[in-house]
Amino acid sequence: MCLFVANFLLPLCRYSGMTKFREGPLVLLLRDGMVEEFNRAARQTESVDLSGANLRGVDLRSAHLCKADLRNAYCHTADLRGVDLSHANIEGASFHRARISGAYFPPGVSAEELKMSVDLGTRIRLA
């Protein structure tokens, strides 16, 4: 069985509630490696809602995430090298073992907080 969402035909099992993560169309584009399609779709919306998303192991280097809502996102081993998250909401996100070299983070996130998230998987707390 499939579900039609925003010009995408997706297997219903991806929306069946069998996971604790939110997996909307934008998240699925990223997880399927369709970053250019994600960027086109993200430009058509006022805010990019990736809150609660499972982005484990996803290559996000070319994704436009500057103003994305990444609250409570799971970014274990994601590749964020060079990504601009300077205006993104990353409260509660986990970056355990993520590659973050050259990434720009919001000014309210301390280096210690990022280090704990990358090393230990703690969720980001904002000051």
Report which of residues 60 and 4 the model is more confident about. Answer: 60
| Minimum mean pLDDT range among 19-23, 49-53, 111-115 | 19-23
Give the pLDDT confidence of 51-98 residue by residue, as tens digits.
999 999 999 999 999 999 999 999 999 999 999 999 999 999 999 999
Confidence of residue 12 (pLDDT cuts 50, 70, 90): very low
Residues 6+ apart with CB under 8 A from 81: 61, 99, 100, 101, 102, 103
* Closest C-alpha to 104, from 81, 80, 84, 118: 84
* Closest C-alpha to 63, from 10, 91, 98, 26: 26
The pLDDT, as a whole number, for residue 19 is: 55
**What 3-state DSSP class applies to 113?**
helix
Give 50's Cβ-side CA count (13 Å radius): 34
Residue 72 tokens read as: 């409570």
Give the pLDDT confidence of 21-32 residue by residue, as tens digits.
888 999 999 999
pTM confidence score: 0.82
The pLDDT, as a whole number, for residue 2 is: 45
